[in-house]
Structure 1
Amino acid sequence: MQALIHDPAAPHRLRLGTAPAPVPAPAQALVRVAAVSFNFGEIAFGSPSEEPGHVSGWDAAGVVVQAAADGSGPAAGTRVVTFGWEGAWAQLRAVDTADLAVVPEEVDLGTAAALPVAGVTALQAVRRLGSLIGRRVLVTGASGGVGRYAVQLAARAGAHVVASVGGPARAGGLRELGAAEIVFGPSGMSGRVYGVLDNVGGSQLAEAYNRLEDGGVVQAVGMASREPTLIDFEEARTRVDRGRLETFNLSTPLGDDLAHLVDLLRRAELDPQIGWRGPWDKAVEAAEALLARRVPGKVVLDL
């Protein structure tokens, strides 16, 4: 089968080539992939253990061609969106039935492919902040894939959303998604916030932590800055009273959360904010645009 394979000598270590077709385990469905989505983390950081020819990728949507042998999951012919820590960037994917959701006919498969990691990360991170009704929430890296979902989902949860972006060019469309305020970095924000969904790390995470109100919480989600975070807790102690800083990790399986997000798509109550879409033979171009922060939202590749 054709696949985007790991090639250490290729740009961004990606090359369209061939790979063996996957053999599904009893609790896995075999899916013919129609579209995949890139995430910043899998492109920027990859995995040091990848061997040449390895098929990476977290997000894919397509049609089941072989139902799981154990009887779990949907029948052959069902349209689905899928998640896994590898194997998405290929014509065929074997995926655990607990990590997929059915996609109705009225939802485009490419649109659904943009959901798994970014959408569910935002959903779970918002959920971990607790009740947000009437509370002020800062989303850093709000123009990215996770950030644009987080703005929407936090606003749906009743929050007053402060969207932090790198500059005016990155702010487009965020007010329409639910942002009540737009700032250019946490240092440009006035007042304090109850919650922070941080997608940037580095100095922005440190500054955001210092902006918490009493009892507030930070979910440290991403590291788009690729910088370590240094927090002077002695200084912070004078500025933050009982604030919490929590490291976010995605909780799996994702099937139920994916089904919830697909339903929001179906009802036109969630916008995946696809900022780049094209054929998968343009994967290197897409990766370059994503890493250079030229993409507002998600990257989707059609097979």
Structure 2
Amino acid sequence: MSVRALVVDPSAAAAVRLAEVADPVPGPGQVLVDVSHASLNYGDLNDARSGRVPVGAVLGSDAAGVVVRAAADGTGPAVGTQVVALTSGAFAERVAIDVGALAEVPHGLAPAHAVALPVAGVAALRSLRAAGLGPDKRVLITGASGGVGRFAVQLAARAGAHVIASVGSTARGKGLVELGADEVLIGLEGLDRSVDVVIDSVGGPQLVEAWNLLAPGGSVQSVGWTSGQPAVFPPYATVGPARSLTSFVIEGAAGADLAVLTDLAARGALTAEIGWQGSWSRFAEAAEALRGRRVPGKAVLNVSRDER
């Protein structure tokens, strides 16, 4: 048997095409999930072109759907459970998923909103945690209008921090005050006080600017590099009171953190904004909108079985 999936193909639009792949065979500690929704991340677009995901392999990390086969070892959710997961090869009609990589979707949380949480939400949660978030901190979030940024704004505000959201334009800053930002800036214009934490997804010259604003003992977490530009530090920029610039990647099972995020979202304490939603057959359109920074929040793909 086979299922449809979005696979890497350098000759296709956005380097991705719909194709038939082998039906997944779950291991003892995996459940089999029929996927209804997937969420597109900026990193997925890079994975499709960088070679990190091989040609012909299934792309994606964020999936939501229903368990159709429970784990053989007796762990994890039962058949019929709605789940959301952070797993490789997520962009397929059916996916085998480690039980530690998923969380049950609470009642009242729509799958389309749950699927917006895995990569972006876990990255925001873990990077803030690693940076030492606290109620007395000044937190700068660059690229604050994107998926990671919007979650980071909300989570930092919930922790009682003073949140400074940096965006590329006035239009991109819409709604961030309502999410908890104390200040919304175009770039870093007007920011003349030091900050304790930086969650940076822009990279390039803005990363250098943010580093220069960091207070002694502060931390920059580099979670992305959407600018595509080099970051050139002037001589002695890294000499002085102790500060840290830390590269960030999601490692290890995300299930526990996903449970935290889905609970917050179900209670209305965390908003997963969907800026684009459509059939996965429109992947190239979604990718173009995401690269063009025309998607506030997340882009969600509907995995349709009616388009064969």
TM-score in terms of structure 1 length? 0.95
Quote the Cα distance in structure 2 between the aligned partners of 1:274 and 1:286. Answer: 12
Q: Quote how far apart the aligned CAs of 1:273 are.
A: 1.3
**Match in the other structure for 2:306:** none
**Match in the other structure for 1:110:** 112
Quote the Cα distance in structure 2 between the aligned partners of 1:257 and 1:296. Answer: 23
**Match in the other structure for 1:122:** 124
Superposition misfits of 4+ residues, deviation over 4 angstroms: none
Quote the Cα distance in structure 2 between the aligned partners of 1:118 and 1:24. Answer: 26
Q: How does 1:155-170 map to 2 (within 5 A)?
A: 155-170=157-172
Q: Is the 8 A contact 2:66 2:80 kept in 1?
A: yes
AA paired with 1:115?
L
AA paired with 2:286?
A
Query: Does 2:304 correspond to 1:299?
Result: no
Q: 1:62 aligns with which of 62, 65, 68?
A: 65
Identity, in percent, stands at: 50
Q: Is the 8 A contact 1:87 1:94 kept in 2?
A: no
**Match in the other structure for 1:173:** 175
Q: Quote how far apart the aligned CAs of 1:26 are.
A: 1.0
AA paired with 1:37?
S
Gaps in structure 2 of 5+ consecutive residues:
304-308
**Match in the other structure for 2:263:** 263
Q: How does 1:65-84 map to 2 (within 5 A)?
A: 65-84=68-87
Quote the Cα distance in structure 1 between the aligned partners of 2:237 and 2:131. Answer: 24
Q: 2:216 aligns with which of 214, 217, 225?
A: 214
**Residue 77 of structure 1 aligns to a residue in which SS?**
coil
Quote the Cα distance in structure 2 between the aligned partners of 1:296 and 1:185. Answer: 16
Q: Quote how far apart the aligned CAs of 1:220 are.
A: 1.1
AA paired with 1:19?
V
Quote the Cα distance in structure 2 between the aligned partners of 1:131 and 1:50. Answer: 33
Gaps in structure 1 of 5+ consecutive residues:
none
Quote the Cα distance in structure 2 between the aligned partners of 1:49 and 1:261. Answer: 28
Quote the Cα distance in structure 2 between the aligned partners of 1:52 and 1:124. Answer: 30
Q: How does 1:1-303 map to 2 (within 5 A)?
A: 1-46=3-48, 47-84=50-87, 86-237=88-239, 241-303=241-303
Q: Is the 8 A contact 2:133 2:156 kept in 1?
A: no
Q: Quote how far apart the aligned CAs of 1:187 are.
A: 4.5
Q: Is the 8 A contact 2:47 2:53 kept in 1?
A: no
**Residue 236 of structure 2 aligns to a residue in which SS?**
helix
Deviates more, 1:14-23 or 1:31-40: 14-23
| Deviations, residues 117-164 of structure 1 (Å, cap 9, x unaligned) | 100000001111214213211000001110010010011111100000
